[in-house]
Amino acid sequence: MNTKAYGAHAADRPLEPLAIERREPGPRDVEIAIAYCGICHSDLHTVRGEWAGTRFPCVPGHEIVGQVTAVGSEVTRYREGDTVGVGCLVDSCRRCSACDEGLEQYCENGLVATYNSATDDPPGHTLGGYSQSIVVGQDFVLKVTHPKEQLAAVAPLLCAGITTYSPLRHWKVGPGKKVGIVGIGGLGHMGIKIAHALGAHTVGFTTSEAKRADAAALGADEVVVSRNKQEMKAHANSFDFILNTVAASHDLDAYTQLLKRDGTMTVNDAYERMLKSDVKYRFVIDGASYAST
Ligand SMILES: [Zn+2]
Ligand SMILES: [Zn+2]
């Protein structure tokens, strides 16, 4: 099946409209018309060849939300018309110990990422969500229950959301815990919302006075401008957990001093961050835009 996409033919070429081929749905496959796809910093690194091993043509995108348009004969979990999501992986070996435990992201034989992984489908590597449609095995498709008008905001949950939710949950953030979120960008804005929703006393850290009001609006109980030494000092030895989402190199000591004894700081994949600090807070591609390509 021919489908329209945005991709690049080489690291030094811009994204441009491309025609790509999707496989016909197999017995366990779900075919999805993509309504929105979030733009993750990893997409940019890959498409620009900043990480080794980019396969071209490259169609990035792993924050995918859309509607099911067809299902294979053995698909039981989804039917046509369902709203669904696809995140960072679309397959794994399904037989190693990690896969057995439902931790396919740690597949010992190499997971199949949503884009830039080897596959039998044309052109020999996976092509991501900057496209009108995608075909994915039902085991790697997620049910989405949000109404249609919220789907653009749901897309970033598929990568930025899970990237921040995962450590917050792992470290049991919740009521009675004081939690810091450092950086208020694509990841940090999600971190504040999730930490707040989990019931923690949530403190946002930003270098920018301009983001103070934004952080509060996202749910931060307090906001600290990290350049202000007095403000920083007022929080010394008080945090149970700090989620540091800042990619640019910065002084981690300034934050470890804010942790309680036995407190934890998690520094996220530094690359999961948008290049432009003025993005508020995540771009998504609207599937309707392909009509004009
Ligand atoms: Zn991502
Ligand atoms: Zn595996």
Give residue-wise pLDDT tens across range 90-148: 999 999 999 999 989 889 998 899 999 999 999 999 999 999 999 999 999 999 999 99
Cα of 170 vs centre of ligand 2, distance in Å, is 22
Q: Say which CATH class 2-159+281-292 falls into.
A: alpha beta
Cα of 85 vs centre of ligand 1, distance in Å, is 14
What confidence score (pLDDT) does residue 166 get?
Answer: 87
Domains in the chain: boundaries: 2-159+281-292, 161-267
Give residue-wise pLDDT tens across range 233-276: 999 999 999 999 887 777 888 998 999 998 888 888 543 443 33
Cα of 139 vs centre of ligand 2, distance in Å, is 13
Q: Which amino acid, residue 146?
A: H
What's the number of CA atoms in the CB half-sphere (13 Å) around residue 207? Answer: 13
* Pair of tokens at residue 211: 């983001």
* Pair of tokens at residue 135: 């075909």
Cα of 107 vs centre of ligand 2, distance in Å, is 4
* CB atoms near residue 17 (< 10 Å): 12
Can you name the residues that pair with 118 across neighbouring β-strands? 125
* Pair of tokens at residue 259: 């942790």
Residue 235: phi and psi, rounded to 5, are -105, 10
Q: Pick 161-267's CATH classification: 3.40.50.720, 3.40.50.300, 3.10.150.10, 1.20.1440.230.
A: 3.40.50.720
Give residue-wise pLDDT tens across range 56-68: 999 999 999 999 9
Q: How far apart are CA 222 and CA 147, in angstroms?
A: 31
Using the predicted structure, report yes or no on whether residue 222 has a pLDDT greater than 90: yes
96-105: long-range pairs with CB below 8 Å, 24+: 104/140
Cα of 65 vs centre of ligand 1, distance in Å, is 14
Q: How far apart are CA 166 and CA 173, in angstroms?
A: 10
What confidence score (pLDDT) does residue 253 get?
Answer: 87
Nearest ligand, measured from the Cα of 96: 2
The structure's pTM equals: 0.86
Edge-to-edge order in the sheet of strand 259-267: 222-225, 201-206, 178-182, 239-244, 259-267
Cα of 103 vs centre of ligand 2, distance in Å, is 8
